[in-house]
Amino acid sequence: MANYIPYLLLTVISIGVLIWIFVSTKDLSYLTHYFFIAGLAYVFEYIILILLNSYTYKPHLLSIGVYDSIVGDLSSQAFSVPAAAIVVTAYQVRLKGVFSLVMLFIGIEEMFLYLNIYDHNWWRTYYTGIFLLVTFFLVKVFYNLILDYTLIRFVALFFSLIFFLSNKLFLLFLALPDFYFHVGWFENIYRDNITFSTLLIICKSLFIVLALYIRRYSILGFLFLFAIFDYYLVKIGTLHVPNGYVYPILFVITLSSYFFIIWTNNIWIKKLNENVI
């Protein structure tokens, strides 16, 4: 059996669960909550997987090891874990059900280890269990807090945008191999690329969400600053671009992220108004 098959099955099942929840509840706030959870998971994986090299996913879909591991990670952190978290939130799953979900994920992780399509470096399976218990508890609490507090909604939008931008930029890395960041923090240029680009995404996400709260047209100023900064990174040799077409692509990705965050925020506001009524 090809290594990617279990990853594909896990992804398809998770997407099916998400679609089922969105269709059955007809509540788009669960979709925006999914983006928030996926963003949280992405930052967690950035620390654990990229910076601390805790484990390695081996779907064997890409020849570049770091990118291949990230693709495998998406199956878990972008789909299966957020899908389970949305189930817990939407249906207010009690402690017994949460424990059952955690044990299911522990079983899946052990199966992946047995199939040799996933390796632990210093990570242990019970760490996964602990983090999932904490995650499932927090996402239930945060759902109501997002509706009640503007600051918490700001945080949710921030993490949602990290998820949105990181996936778009990763696809660009795959489509344009000569487009990458290089700062020399790691010997592996691909790990170096992901490390710096993620920090850049985190900073951009913060400014873009701030633009939503500051003034209507402040995003135009931020877009201009982002473009100048990207050009500066090219000049000092940190950002490598194959041709000039990359600049408008980066601009479109950033601009689309602003409209994404407006849409996401409007869904939360609509849900808040429904609860008030």
Residues 190 and 250 in one domain: yes
The pLDDT of residue 100: 95
CA distances from 20 to 6, 17, 38, 58, 87 (A): 21, 5, 18, 29, 10
- Cα separation of 62 and 217, whole Å? 41
- Cα separation of 267 and 244, whole Å? 36
- Digit-by-digit pLDDT tens for the chain (277 residues) are 799 999 999 999 999 999 999 999 989 999 999 999 999 999 999 999 999 999 999 999 999 999 999 999 999 999 999 999 999 999 989 989 999 999 999 999 999 999 999 999 999 999 999 999 999 999 988 998 988 888 999 999 999 999 999 999 999 999 999 999 999 999 999 999 999 999 999 999 999 999 888 876 788 888 889 989 999 999 999 999 988 888 899 999 999 999 999 999 999 988 888 776 5
Residues 138 and 155 in one domain: no
CA distances from 244 to 24, 168, 195, 257, 264 (A): 46, 18, 24, 21, 31
Global confidence as pTM: 0.94
The pLDDT of residue 222: 87
- Each as own residue / partner, the long-range contacts of residues 180-184 (CB below 8 Å, 24 or more positions apart, any chain) are 180/239, 180/240, 181/233, 181/238, 181/239, 181/240, 182/237, 182/238, 182/240, 183/238
- Cα separation of 51 and 199, whole Å? 12
Residues 84 and 198 in one domain: no
Residues 167 and 137 in one domain: no
Domain boundary among 103, 123, 144: 144
Residues 92 and 222 in one domain: no
Residues 17 and 140 in one domain: yes
The pLDDT of residue 276: 60
Residues 39 and 138 in one domain: yes
Domain with 230 in it: 149-277
DSSP H or E stretch at residue 118: strand 118-120
Question: What type of residue sits at position 97?
Answer: G
Which residues, including other chains, have CB under 8 Å from residue 207's CB and lie 6 or more apart?
Answer: 222, 225, 226
Domain boundary among 90, 118, 144: 144
The structure tokens 């979709």 sit at 31
Question: What type of residue sits at position 10?
Answer: L
Residues 135 and 201 in one domain: no
How many structural domains compose the chain? Answer: 2
What single DSSP character describes residue 239? Answer: E
The pLDDT of residue 107: 96
What single DSSP character describes residue 115? Answer: T
Residues 169 and 138 in one domain: no
Residues 118 and 177 in one domain: no
Domain boundary among 144, 169, 198: 144
The pLDDT of residue 216: 66
Residues 35 and 83 in one domain: yes
Residues 156 and 196 in one domain: yes
Q: What are phi and psi of 120, to 5 degrees?
A: -90, 135
Q: What are phi and psi of 197, to 5 degrees?
A: -65, -35
CB atoms within 10 A of CB 225: 12
